[in-house]
Amino acid sequence: MINVLFVCLGNICRSPMAEAVFRNLVVTEGFADKFRIDSAGTADWHQGNSPHEGTIEILNRYEISSENIFARQFLPTDLTEFNYVIAMDDMNVEDLEIFIDNESTAFVGKLCDFIKNSRYENVPDPYYTGDFDETYELILAGCRGLFDFIIEKGT
């Protein structure tokens, strides 16, 4: 089983969108039984909440399910329970690095690192920008790149 965790600040916009998009991608590609996919926030503000209405709206537009996605806070044990911990921006990575120690086994990176020739280094937070379309397009491209990377690597 390949365990992938997407991380953003509050876990209501970007990371649940990435969780849903990546989940849809692995199902479409026929790998659903090979992956465990989740999302978390570095802050605890929205624990237990459903994704933001803008996230739900865009996922519905593309017929991607957000069922059973609820906000939770990132836990230090996620760095050993997940193979890949994929952050949405530099600040998220900095927040995660605090917890990295000798027991951490996860690959930690940013989603935009998996987008070839991207002019973006970070996935903008639509909670602040209001641009859920831009966020969706970046997440879609990043998830495709991440999936290809994982499949090529073999784990």
Question: What positions carry a catalytic annotation?
Answer: 8, 14, 125
Tokens of 61: 């537009």
Torsional class of 23: left (φ above 0), alpha (ψ -120 to 50), beta (otherwise): alpha
Please classify residue 97 by burial: count the beta carbons closer than 10 Å to its beta carbon, then call 0-12 exposed, 13-18 middle and 19+ buried: exposed
Beta bridge partners of 108: 85
